[in-house]
Structure 1
Amino acid sequence: MEIGWMIFLIIAVIVLWVIIDFLLGRKQHLAKAKKIVFPDRYSDMQIFAKGPELFDDLFSEIKKARQHIHILFYIIKDDKISHEFVSLLKEKAREGVEVRLLVDWVGSSLKRKTIQSLKDAGVKFAYTHKPKFPFLFYSSQVRNHRKITVIDGHIGYLGGFNIGDEYNDKNPKLSPWRDYHLKLTGEGAVDLQEEFLRDWHCANKVNLLQNKAYFPELSKGTIRQQFVPTEGEALEDLIATLISEAKQSLIIGTPYFIPSKKVFDHLQAAIRRGVSVTILVPYKSDHILVKEASYRYLRPLLKDGADVYQYMKGFYHAKVMTIDDNICDIGTANFDKRSMFLNYELNCLIYDPSFIKEVKHILTEDMLNSHKASLSDFSRVNWFSSFKETAARTISFFL
């Protein structure tokens, strides 16, 4: 009996610690979160939806770098394409090119010996967002989910792909991997460069923002766009605002559909005012419970008149939203509470009709490779399904 009470007391203390840690950590987080507003820029842009095509282009541009390569990824795996990526960075560093590599402390799978080999070759390496006192639990949940590459200050990449074989269509369970990633040249590259250097400063307290060598003179491109960085705040308001501006159509593509109450309310309001709302999610899941967490939102939206598509041709990991033919949002943020309230994210708002048309063409292709869902697809069929959905609802903030 005493042992039982002791176990209960230990569990109660742990739960209480987690709650206090989270609440106080969240308060500190919001107090320190920076709100950066980048201006509208004009850039030339290209979109990649297939990993092999993206990696061929990215690696080719890295090989041509002459001055500096600055890269941030949430995930770098320990597999074939990751080894190729690491070898390429070491080769460039040995050539005398400045190489800085920033990876998330939780997301990365790089081994210590790999990191040491990078440093030995001259690559400047750092982890971002290491858990720290006094709020260990909360800080372990706040991740840098951005994926930024800047080459010689004038070529930039941003989007949903990480570095790993699964993103290169080499995972039998999830291939082909479907994602959207942007390549950018023109004046917008200055903001990607600045955001990377801000994250580098945050990670190791080295401030390089005043180094003019990283900011070459850039010419204007043809596509109006704006980068929007968020730090576990502001993203919810951004998404809600974009939804409220829709007058005819709204398309959302996301691997994880777990909106906040505010965003969900805006979606229902959009349907009520006659906006055509389409949601594209994967049929397959790459994480436990994320599918079940979405059901409580998809069911009422289907009842309200939204169209929901489940992507069947591999795994769908894109982060995209189109508002009428006026605005397109592509970036690193998922349509979920973790991206809205915990992660550091970076999105790109695009205002060019021809580019939005191209994105919509890709979305149409992806819908043709999808199953149009009905309410029965999200019904609870047995006690285990009900249990998983209840569990997912309980921890949806962290999925």
Structure 2
Amino acid sequence: MLAFLTDNWWTIAIVINYILALLAVVTILFKSINPTKTLTYIIVLLVFPFFGLIVYYLFGQEYRKNKIFNRKDVLNNNLIKSINSKVEIKPEFLSKYEANAEEEQVRLVQLLQKNDKSPLTQNNEVEIILNGENKFEKLFQDIKQAKKHVHLEYYILKDDKIGTRLLDLLLSKAKEGVVIRLSYDDVGSKISSKMKKLLNQSTIQHHAFMPVLFPKFTGKMNYRNHRKIVIIDGEIGYVGGVNVSDTYVNYPENKNYWRDTHLRIEGEAVFSLQTQFLTNWNFVAETEVKLDRSFFPSKPIDKIIPIQIAASGPDTDWANIMEAIFFSIVTAEKYVYITTPYFIPNDQIITAMQVAAKSGVDVRLLIPDISDSWTAQNATNSYLEQLFEANIKIYRYTKGFIHAKTMVVDDIFTTIGTSNMDYRSFNINFEINALIYNEEKAKEAKQIFLDDLKDAKNITFEQWTNRPKIERLKEAYCRLWAPLL
């Protein structure tokens, strides 16, 4: 028997592999997931022995998702439900808003309220911030003024120059008695043992989100926390694309220019950011925060800028951000301007953009000229021909790398946040966007987009169709992996 196993070990291994692969295929078919994603998994499982099983184990399993659903239950807390009901837009204002707002605005508000219990808040002040250096200048000033608590949640947190400045400031505020809660993604972040020792010796509460054994080799592990939010004393909130790393700050010595967009919010929308932070905090800390009113203070804001905070992830019943983007595109009447560093869309978004453009809407897409990911860039390129066929205008940002994740529609609606236009942001990662229903801010976002086009080149259909065949081959290969990127 032993001799038989020794002589035929490879055949036995292959047979076991395909038995497990076929079982996985059956499991995938019963899940009724997106056909493209289903086909990708089936191809990988059947064409790549052993490697396919590893890919499926890392990316296709949902045991971690089920674990999240079972444990992330802060929103069931009666206090948070009560707070949501108190900040939700007043009936008399909603009636006035519905009478004056565009129909698609009202319907989008209703969509998110049903999908994510995300209240439409009215009394807010919003500042659009360009680039990391400007964001951190304002953020540091706000943290210095903190009196009660600072809550931070980041996908990337590194203790390089900008990260050390932030962490040193937090250590200083902790000594003053300010409560610091810090959550960072274990795959995206890198903190030295020296800095972790300082954090451990302080009163700062810090936790890695869903730790993995080998972060360097699991950059695409499922269910990463891709959010970048800060809440200061429950009064000031930050959300957007800027992580904590020197890469995001345009220091004079940096070789590459980094173009990004972030938001600073004061008002009732901060309560929604706080709620989302606490939801994740109870999960990563494995203990429930004792909630009190100090997390949701009453600070009058006279300016009326309606905002909804849309959060999505494995713990939400619906793909809230994707649905909001989809609905905004298909109901647009004049223009849709999209900026994203990674454009690997699902069929719904492609169809929405095509339908809008063919119906006369000015649809424009701004993406990086050179991506920070070879695979992502080629996968993005594989989708562009479909856009050209619908007369969608495509621009490549040439000044540096554009990492902003924004969309502005018809001078009435803007979304800025952490979500890319890709499968991972729509279906797998934890993301958060601010949806702003305000003409002034929409026009400001529109002008920012048009200014960015000055540092971009317009790609024509003729130029694109003449690209080398080897490029098309690379694109076709990378597109196979699109649902996993």
Deviations 1:109-153 (A, max 9, x none): 112332221121211101113359xxxx99932111111101111
Alpha-carbon distance, 1:264 to partner: 0.7
Query: Which residue is equivalent to 1:40?
Result: 120
Query: Which residue is equivalent to 2:371?
Result: 285
Deviations 1:149-183 (A, max 9, x none): 01111011000000111111149776321111000
Which of the pair has more CA radius of gyration? 2
- Normalising by structure 1, we get a TM-score of 0.91
Q: Which runs of 5+ in 1 are unaligned?
A: none
Alpha-carbon distance, 1:37 to partner: 2.1
Query: Which residue is equivalent to 2:100?
Result: none
Quote the Cα distance in structure 1 between the aligned partners of 2:357 and 2:162. Answer: 43
Q: Compared with structure 1, are the counterparts of its residues 121 and 37 closer, same or farther at alpha carbon in structure 2 (3 Å cutoff)? A: same
- SS state of the match for residue 141, structure 1? coil
Deviations 1:206-255 (A, max 9, x none): 22263222111132442111101111533332221111111111111000
Question: Does the Cα contact within 8 Å between 2:58 and 2:221 map onto a contact in 1?
Answer: no
User: Which amino acid in structure 2 is aligned with residue 360 of structure 1?
Assistant: K
User: Which amino acid in structure 2 is aligned with residue 92 of structure 1?
Assistant: K
**Hey, which of these two has a bigger chunk of helix by percent?**
2
Question: Does the Cα contact within 8 Å between 1:380 and 1:386 map onto a contact in 2?
Answer: no
Mapping of residues 182-197 of structure 1, within 5 Å: 182-197=263-278
Mapping of residues 172-321 of structure 1, within 5 Å: 175-208=256-289, 210-220=291-301, 221-232=303-314, 233-321=319-407
Q: Compared with structure 1, are the counterparts of its residues 205 and 325 closer, same or farther at alpha carbon in structure 2 (3 Å cutoff)? A: same
Query: Which residue is equivalent to 1:68?
Result: 149
Q: Compared with structure 1, are the counterparts of its residues 395 and 26 closer, same or farther at alpha carbon in structure 2 (3 Å cutoff)? A: farther
Q: Compared with structure 1, are the counterparts of its residues 383 and 273 closer, same or farther at alpha carbon in structure 2 (3 Å cutoff)? A: closer
Question: Does the Cα contact within 8 Å between 1:68 and 1:99 map onto a contact in 2?
Answer: yes
Quote the Cα distance in structure 2 between the aligned partners of 1:319 and 1:195. Answer: 19
1:51 to 113, 120, 132: 132
Quote the Cα distance in structure 2 between the aligned partners of 1:227 and 1:86. Answer: 27
Q: Compared with structure 1, are the counterparts of its residues 113 and 16 closer, same or farther at alpha carbon in structure 2 (3 Å cutoff)? A: same
Alpha-carbon distance, 1:343 to partner: 0.7
Alpha-carbon distance, 1:4 to partner: 6.4
Deviations 1:296-327 (A, max 9, x none): 22112122211111111111001111111111
Q: Compared with structure 1, are the counterparts of its residues 289 and 94 closer, same or farther at alpha carbon in structure 2 (3 Å cutoff)? A: same
Q: Compared with structure 1, are the counterparts of its residues 377 and 207 closer, same or farther at alpha carbon in structure 2 (3 Å cutoff)? A: farther
Q: Compared with structure 1, are the counterparts of its residues 258 and 380 closer, same or farther at alpha carbon in structure 2 (3 Å cutoff)? A: farther
Q: Which runs of 5+ in 2 are unaligned?
A: 1-6, 18-47, 74-114
Question: Does the Cα contact within 8 Å between 1:240 and 1:263 map onto a contact in 2?
Answer: yes
Quote the Cα distance in structure 1 between the aligned partners of 2:419 and 2:474. Answer: 25
- Normalising by structure 2, we get a TM-score of 0.76
Query: Which residue is equivalent to 1:324?
Result: 410
Deviations 1:331-387 (A, max 9, x none): 110111110011111111111101111111111110111111123554574465344
Quote the Cα distance in structure 2 between the aligned partners of 1:61 and 1:358. Answer: 23
Quote the Cα distance in structure 2 between the aligned partners of 1:321 and 1:29. Answer: 32
Query: Which residue is equivalent to 2:452?
Result: 366
Q: Compared with structure 1, are the counterparts of its residues 335 and 305 closer, same or farther at alpha carbon in structure 2 (3 Å cutoff)? A: same
Q: Greater CA deviation, 319-328 or 22-31?
A: 22-31
Q: Compared with structure 1, are the counterparts of its residues 235 and 111 closer, same or farther at alpha carbon in structure 2 (3 Å cutoff)? A: same
Quote the Cα distance in structure 2 between the aligned partners of 1:254 and 1:139. Answer: 19
Quote the Cα distance in structure 2 between the aligned partners of 1:231 and 1:26. Answer: 15
- SS state of the match for residue 109, structure 1? coil
User: Which amino acid in structure 1 is aligned with residue 400 of structure 2?
Assistant: G
Q: Greater CA deviation, 27-36 or 215-224?
A: 27-36
> Taking every aligned residue pair, what percent have the same amino acid on both sides?
32
Question: Does the Cα contact within 8 Å between 2:144 and 2:169 map onto a contact in 1?
Answer: yes
Query: Which residue is equivalent to 2:160?
Result: 79
Query: Which residue is equivalent to 2:62?
Result: 25
Query: Which residue is equivalent to 2:49?
Result: 12
Question: Does the Cα contact within 8 Å between 2:416 and 2:435 map onto a contact in 1?
Answer: yes
Aligned length: 396
- SS state of the match for residue 228, structure 1? strand
Query: Which residue is equivalent to 1:335?
Result: 421
- SS state of the match for residue 344, structure 2? coil
Question: Does the Cα contact within 8 Å between 1:236 and 1:260 map onto a contact in 2?
Answer: no
Q: Greater CA deviation, 369-378 or 256-265?
A: 369-378
Q: Is 1:168–2:249 an aligned residue pair?
A: yes
Quote the Cα distance in structure 1 between the aligned partners of 2:64 and 2:462. Answer: 41
Quote the Cα distance in structure 1 between the aligned partners of 2:173 and 2:477. Answer: 47
